[in-house]
Structures are given as structure tokens and as C-alpha cells.
Amino acid sequence: MEKSNRFVELYHYLQDPHLVARFQRFCGVHGTFSRTVCAGTKDRTHSQNNGACHHHSAGNEGENLAVIGAGEGEIPTRKRVIDSEVANISEKLPQNGAVVSTATAGGETVGLGSNGRRVAGATEPEQREKESGAPGCSTVKPRRKNSLTGDAGQEFLIQNRFLYYMFTFGTELGNELFYITFFPFVIWSIDAFVGRRLIMVWVWVMYLGQCTKDVLGWSRPASPPVVKVEVFYNSEYSMPSTHAMSGTAIPFSLFFMTYGRWEYSFTLGFSLALCWCLLVCVSRIYMGMHSVLDVIAGVVYSSLILLFFLPVMDLIDDFNLTCRYAPLIIISLHLGLGLFSFTLDTWSTSRGDTAQILGTGAGIALASHVNHYLGLMPDPTPDQLPFTTPALSASLFGVAVLRLVLGVLVLMTTRALMKTITIPAVCWVFRVPSADVRKARQHMEVELPYRYIVYGAVGFNVVFLVPLLFSYIHLS
């Protein structure tokens, strides 16, 4: 009984948003919250994922979710059931609970201080600096809006710019821009065999992580006390952290797949993988997107998937390359998984991301099958292994950069062209109004085929069209 109580206490401690907030303050991140509004909230915290308020009670870790629509034909969005008292407070507060306001009177800026008094003659950044008690702080806003709500986020203060940029880089290691450059770079300039298998691992890890999020339905850490340094994924659920999952799966899979195949030090390879993993995981806490428990669960969950998936990797890869029915099974399986994930929840950014991941995986697998059938990009024979790391030179670096730039341009062109063709076509087929593209994409019958087709074409070109182009212009 005592052990179970300790386990429950540890569970609540690791999920506590105040633990995230303390880490953020330790790293020099300060919110622009009002102390007057936040006073008296030791027993309960009013918060919402994207900065408005919802009710947390000490004995209730879950939240009631209600799906409500705004009108006929409009896709419902996720709302939290809140009491009238909290609703009244949230109406008065801007995003992230900040109550900093300014008024211009006779050419003079008037700010509302943390104690509720007006401070005249101070600009807004100066007023925030006075409230924080930290001279020299930089006022920053999240770089990207939330793609579901359009929320641009609330300004916050940072004292340590090095940590801010380091953790911003760390969190970008789990975003689309990184994926669309890193995976192709591995395939085009390092090892195509490793690249296609690495993408297979990434697809399964991310798919299972996104589905688990929607099944569990845990909310993001409450703000306040947490400062939302990032708001782009703020509308998604929280448990587990898919950034932590990909930040574990990608570097360690890359290490296990290349060690022995390439000649390099075990200590060096493992250390780089560990640093990569830690940087991504800690960055999610710094950004205020996940609790410590979310991140730990993501690492453990990803490790369990790797323990199951890596031993059967040869079997799956051989099937994709050699089975005559592989194209049909690949398309059907990935599309079926997309249909399943889209039935788990109302529209959110996670649904589009899931379809995008599955489409990419299907395109890569199909192109690998076509290459094997046509005898293109053959895998090296065992007598050619292990590979020796070539000496870094200006010409080698220049060719790799040229391949990456040209290849990514082809991929971006493919994506733009396929979007232009696919969205209107799918809207026409399913009779969905296409005047407002953003709203049209919220319909499952539009978003699933659109994302699947567009990113399936991108994935196919990564392994088939772009290497063929490199061969034609002698950049292989």
C-alpha cells in the first residue's frame, strides 16, 4: 500500500505543471502573468492549453471534454468544460493568462503593474522588465502561430539567449523542416539502405505515438504557471511526447543501423545519439509543451517500439522490396491506418500530421520496390562492408550541399504542385466547398487523401525521381 502511494505521488509530481514552470524559470524564461489574477491559486489552477483558463482540482487529474460545433457544416473543435467563475476570468484575460495592458493618455504609455497599479511613463517592454525584476531581459513571442486556433501566443521574457536558441534548435529536430532535409540527406549522401529503414522506424514510432495521444486525451501543461514558449502544436494532446519519441528513435536507430556497417567509434556514436535524445527531450519541457512525465513516457514508449521493430526490420524490408503484392499491401495498409487514426478524435493538427507521416512512408516503400524491380540503387553486397568514413574535403562537402539543395527544391516543387492539383480535386469529388482551403482541409474526406497523396508523391520522389536526376546530371 505504501509503495502504491509513493508511485501515485511520483506520478502527480512528474505531471505537475509547476515542475515545468520551475525548470523554465531556472533556464531564464519568465511569463508576463499577473500576480493579482494568479493569487490564491495554490489549491487550484485555472488554465487552458493555449493560454485561456480551465479548472484543475487537486483530486481530479482528468478533464471533461465536450465536442461542440459552431454551426451547420462546420467541423467541431475541442473545448474544455469550465465553470462560470473561470469563464468570467478567462474572458478578461488574453492568451497565456497575461494581463499586461497599455493605454495611451496624452502621448504617455500607461502600463498595468503586477500589483494592479498603473505605471505611467513606461513603455511596455520596460514595464515588463520592472515586473519581472530582471533587467536586461529580452521580450520574445513564439515564432509560429497555432495552426488550429490561429493563436500567436503571448509575449514572454528570456534571460538566457543561449539556452533559448539551443532548445529552439532541439525542438526543431522533431519538426517537418528537419525531416524533409535530414532523411533525404541520409539517402542521397550517406547510405540509402539505412535511410529507407530509418524512415520505416520513424513512421511506426510517430504513428503509434500520435494515436496514443488521441486515445489518452491528456491536456498540455497548464498556463499559467507554464510559459508557452511554443504554441504551434498547442491544440494537440500531450501524452506521450512524440518529439521525445522521435528524438529517441531516430538517433539510436541510426546508431544501431550504422555501427558495424560504417567504421567509427562506439563511444562516439552512442554519445552523439544520447546528446541528440536529451536535447530534444529537454527542449519540450523548456518550451512548455510537455510535462516531465510526458517526456519520460515518450522515451520509454519509443524504446519499447524499437525493441520490437528493429529485430524484424530485415523481414519487413525484404517484403517491401521483393514481394509482388507489396505495392497493393503498402498502399492499403498505410491508408487503412490513416482511416483508423482519423476516427479517434475531432480535427486537430495531429490528424494531418499522421496522414502526412503515413503518406511519406508509403511513398518511400513504393519507390524502394520500384528501384529493386528496375535494378536502380542496388544495396551494397556484404563484401563491400564495412564502409570507411571518407576524409572531409571542400569538393565532397560542396557536392553534398548541391545534392541537398537541388533535391529539396524538387521535393518542394512536388509538394506545391501536388497540393495545387489534389485539394481542388478532392473537394470536387466529395462536394466540399473549396473557397476556404483551411476550412475545407478540416474535413476528413479532404485532409486524409490530400495529405496521403501529396506526401506519398514527395516520399516517392525522395527515393526514385531525385536519385535518377542525380544520375542523369552526374551527381550520384
> Could you give the CA distance from residue 461 to residue 476 in angstroms, rounded to a whole number?
15
Among the listed residues 230, 247, 229, the one whose alpha carbon sits nearest the alpha carbon of residue 178: 247
- Please answer whether residues 417 and 455 qualify as being in contact, where contact means their C-beta atoms are separated by less than 8 angstroms: no
List CB contacts of 331: < 8 A, sequence separation 6 or more.
362, 366
Q: Which of 56, 243, 334, 369 is catalytic?
A: 243
Where are the strands (E) in 347-438, listed by range? none
Which residue's C-alpha cell is 522588465?
A: 129
Contact 203, 361 (CB under 8 A): yes
Q: How far apart are CA 8 and CA 274, in angstroms?
A: 29
Cβ contact 387:191 at 8 Å: yes
CA 395/CA 450 separation, integer angstroms: 40
Grid cell listed for 454: 501529396
The amino acid sitting at 210 is Q
Each residue of 259-278: b (16+ CB within 10 Å) or e?
beebebeeeebeeebeebbe
Task: Write the secondary structure of 310-327 as one string of H (helix), E (strand) and C (coil).
Answer: HHHHHHHHHHHHHCCCHH
What residue type is 131 in one-letter code?
Answer: E
Q: Note whether 159 and 26 are within 8 A (CB).
A: no
Catalytic residue among 290, 334, 369, 443: 290
Q: Which residues contact 299 (CB under 8 A, 6 or more apart)?
A: 244, 245, 248, 277, 281
CB environment 232-245: b (16+ within 10 A), e (fewer): bbbbbbbbbbbbbb
In degrees, rounded to 5, the angle at the alpha carbon of residue 464 between the alpha carbons of residues 463 and 465 is: 120
Residue 46 a catalytic site member: no
CA atoms within 13 A on the CB side of 217: 14
Q: Supply the residues annotated as catalytic.
A: 243, 290
